[in-house]
Amino acid sequence: MSTVDTAPSSEAPAAARPRPKAAGGGFGRYLLVRFLLIFPTIFILVTVVFFLARTTGDPITAAQGGRLGPEALAELRAAAGYDRPLIVQYLEYLAQLATGDFGRTLTTNRPVIEVLTTYGPATFELVFYSLIVAFAVGVPLGLYAAYHRDKAQDAIARVLAIIWYAVPIFFAGLLLKLVFAVWLKWLPVAGRASVSAELQMQTLPNPTGFYTIDAIRTGDPEIVVDVLSHAVLPAIALGLLTAGIFLRLVRTNVIGTLATDYVDAARSRGVAESRLLRKHAYRPALIPIITVMGLQIALLLAGAVLTETTFEWKGLGFILAEFLESRDFAAVQGIVVLLAVIVALTNFVVDVIAAFIDPRVRY
């Protein structure tokens, strides 16, 4: 596709730069720069978390403080290496991280990275389902509100979005549980699947941990229904929060684009209102939504922690709360750093997609 390479060829190899842009740097260069930026981001987060967690104490004192005598405590700290200078511990920790070692949990003495492989799929599934809910609810409502701007429909949609934001996710979860699981008994109360379904899925060769996939692999429609019905309430709880954000974003952006000259021009050419909304205003308004997805991932992860705790959905957030409860702060720190890496990586992917769609993002 590339014909003449106009951009100064210094850092990026020519192959990674298929589309040179007149306005500063090509996609390839953006990709490279953006990729390299992951490392300082992770490094800073790791450093911040490490020093914040360590300046006033260490995991063992925090966990055992008050329960053990000073001698026993000092012994434990020395055994774990927490009595050495902070900078030595920090460098050692960095070296450890560089090899992909996120530390070990104190209570179960397992590598933290194992937590990811065991509980990661559940969180991924939850986030995926809730994104579906968020898109299905938020985008159409946002369009609807923008089109009926300042009318009753708009008012209702906006108040709805504010209420969704104002309801803490765990409270929404508890209410959903109370109404649909306890009173109406339509849906299961908690968990990712019923015990029998879980047992059957474990008999599969190499279970993936993604219950939806595993359930389909068993070939038993009852198990599929069981797994999906368990996902409904958590996905709604987490999805509606995000839907509120989507609604507001779509609304603002569509109002913005509806006011532009080219929409006026199209309208004066006699383009139908519905087409105006669908083609002219909606598409450009979607771009900001995609570009903000990166930050939504961070929000979704925080929301997932709370949703999982509410619904005993055994994902990363659930296990994080368990470790918090048992005061296993080494594990908590490990998981938080792990999540930082995940956030940095997802942000990278989202930014690259955004840049691919919207050339203005590339610098």
- 96-155 residues in contact with another protein (CB under 8 A) are 150, 154-155
* 52 vs 88, beta carbon nearer another protein: 52
Measure the CA–CA gap between 102 and 52, rounded to whole angstroms: 17
Containing 3, the helix (H) or strand (E) segment is none
* 143 vs 305, beta carbon nearer another protein: 305
Q: Compute the least distance from the CB of residue 219 to another protein, in Å.
A: 32
* 17 vs 177, beta carbon nearer another protein: 177
Of 216, 359, 241, give the one whose Cα is nearest residue 304: 241
Measure the CA–CA gap between 329 and 219, rounded to whole angstroms: 41
Identify the three-state secondary structure at position 111: strand
* 200 vs 333, beta carbon nearer another protein: 333
Out of 216, 301, 352, 353, the residue judged to bind another protein by CB under 8 A: 301
Q: Report H helices in the chain.
A: 27-36, 38-55, 59-64, 70-80, 86-98, 112-147, 152-166, 169-176, 195-202, 211-218, 221-258, 261-268, 273-275, 282-311, 316-325, 329-357
* 171 vs 262, beta carbon nearer another protein: 171
Q: Compute the least distance from the CB of residue 227 to another protein, in Å.
A: 20
What secondary structure letter does DSSP report for 85? -
Residues in the chain: 363
Q: Compute the least distance from the CB of residue 350 to another protein, in Å.
A: 8
| Site for another protein contains 310 (CB under 8 A) | yes
Of residues 154 through 213, those in contact with another protein by CB under 8 A are 154-155, 158-159, 161-163, 165-168, 170-171, 174-175, 177-178, 182-183, 189-190
* 200 vs 310, beta carbon nearer another protein: 310
Containing 19, the helix (H) or strand (E) segment is none
* 113 vs 216, beta carbon nearer another protein: 113
Of 248, 230, 360, give the one whose Cα is nearest residue 296: 248
Q: Compute the least distance from the CB of residue 201 to another protein, in Å.
A: 24
Out of 236, 281, 333, 334, the residue judged to bind another protein by CB under 8 A: 333
Q: Compute the least distance from the CB of residue 50 to another protein, in Å.
A: 10
Q: Applying CB under 8 A, which part among 202-210, 214-222, 247-255, 264-272 lies near another protein?
A: 247-255
Q: Applying CB under 8 A, which part among 98-106, 111-119, 254-262, 269-277 lies near another protein?
A: 254-262
Q: Compute the least distance from the CB of residue 208 to another protein, in Å.
A: 25
Of 309, 326, 325, give the one whose Cα is nearest residue 317: 309
Out of 66, 69, 219, 270, the residue judged to bind another protein by CB under 8 A: 66
Query: Given the structure tokens 């492989």, which residue do they identify?
Result: 117
Tell me if 212 sits within 8 A of 227, measured CB to CB: yes
Of 337, 338, 319, 321, give the one whose Cα is nearest residue 52: 337
Of residues 35 through 54, those in contact with another protein by CB under 8 A are 37, 40-41, 44-45, 48-49, 52-53
Q: Compute the least distance from the CB of residue 252 to another protein, in Å.
A: 3
Q: Applying CB under 8 A, which part among 3-11, 118-126, 209-217, 243-251 lies near another protein?
A: 243-251
* 72 vs 259, beta carbon nearer another protein: 259
Measure the CA–CA gap between 173 and 182, rounded to whole angstroms: 12
* 30 vs 129, beta carbon nearer another protein: 30
* 120 vs 288, beta carbon nearer another protein: 288
DSSP-assigned letters across all residues of 163-212:
HHHHS-HHHHHHHHIIIIIIIS--S-SSSSS-HHHHHHHHTSSS--S-HH
Q: What is the CA 165 to chain-centroid distance, rounded?
A: 17
| Site for another protein contains 256 (CB under 8 A) | yes
